[in-house]
Structure formats: C-alpha cells, structure tokens
Amino acid sequence: MSSAPTLPTDQEILDGIRRRDNTTVSAVYQQFRPRIVAHLGSLNGSKEEAKDVFQEALVVVFINAQKPGFQLTSSFYTYLFAICHHLWLKKFREKNRREQVSLEAGAVLLPETDPSENLAYAARQQLLLEKFNALSEGCRELLRLAIVEEKTPAEIVQTFGFGSIEYYYKRKSNCKDKLTELVRADTRFAAL
C-alpha cells in the first residue's frame, strides 16, 4: 500500500518555480488551481477567465521569485491567492469600463446574469464593506491606498512614514488578515 505523496513546503515550491521545475509547477496546478478557479468563478466570471488569471498569477510569482532577496511573508497559497484576486479585480474593473456596467443603489448589476447572483454578490460586498469599516483607521487608509487607488508600495511607505517596504507588506498583510478574520467571524459569511 503506497502512502500519499508528501506535499512540498512553501519554500520548496518557491525554489521549484525559480528553477522552472515542471514537477513543482504541476504540483502547484494540482494543489491550488481548483480552489482558486472555483473562488474566482464565484465572483461572476467564467471558468476559462479564472484559468487565465491563474496562469497570469504564476507568471507574476515567477518574476517576483527571480528578484534578489524575495521572500514569502505568508503561505505560498495565500500569496498566490492574493495575486490571483488582485488580477481578477483588475480584469473585472477593465471589463466593467468596457461594458459600461451601471451602478444602482451600490450593487453592481452585471449584464446577462441571474438576478439572484447579483443579490448574492451585493450581499458579499455589503458584508465586506461593513467589516472594512470596522478596521482601524490606519488599516482602512492603507488598504484603500493599496487596493482602490493602486498606489505603489514606495508611495504608501512615504505617505505613512514607514521605515521600509518590508514593514509596509507586513502591515498590509496584518490588515488584510484582520479583515478576513472579521468577515469569517460574521454569522452571515457561511450563507454567502
């Protein structure tokens, strides 16, 4: 009876991607792509679009991994997920601009979708906004600058007077973790 294969550690995954190791890349696809594609697909997109975003995210990981001194400050999955989510939001914003999606009462109404999907999306966005507003003022401002205004890390470091870009990434990660914790602790989260 054979035992299940040992999953590589986060550092082993990163090192394998740096080396362009096919076994590592295949493991990343097998282990992470289904979850990430399912998540992105739940955000009003097609499975094919989600697969494209996953592929783009792996390219970003490869480029970042080649930078001298690059280190993970979270789990590999969290890092990859964050890149995928960011690329998805960017793609979604561009798509909305092209299609001139209308905004009504704060809910995004997407063309050719089931109205119940719009309501579920609006409910998720409302929960996220409520929990975002429950964060400290510093976290709200940092996340707003980083995500909404898409300021560079260097600009944010200067705005806040942080000592280093590494501290910015740590602080941003802590703020995002706190937001995730608040959302998941809400009783409505499981239903959404």
Percentage with pLDDT > 70 across the chain: 81
The model's pLDDT over 161-176, given as tens digits with 9 standing for 90+, comes to 998 888 988 999 899 8
Q: Where in the sequence of the chain do the CATH 1.10.1740.10 domains occur?
A: 7-100
Identify how many contiguous H helices and E strands the chain contains and give both numbers.
Answer: 8, 2
Q: Where in the sequence of the chain do the CATH 1.10.10.10 domains occur?
A: 102-192
CATH topology of domain 7-100: Rna Polymerase Sigma Factor; Chain: A (1.10.1740)
CATH topology of domain 102-192: Arc Repressor Mutant, subunit A (1.10.10)
Amino acid at 112: E
119 band by pLDDT with thresholds 50, 70 and 90: low
25 band by pLDDT with thresholds 50, 70 and 90: confident
- Say if residues 61 and 78 touch (Cβ distance below 8 Å): no
Range 6-13 average pLDDT: 81
Q: Cα 16 from chain centroid? A: 22
Please report the sign of the dihedral spanned by the C-alpha atoms of residue 136, residue 141, residue 146, residue 148.
positive
In this predicted structure, what is the pLDDT of residue 169? 87
Full-prediction pTM beyond 0.75? no
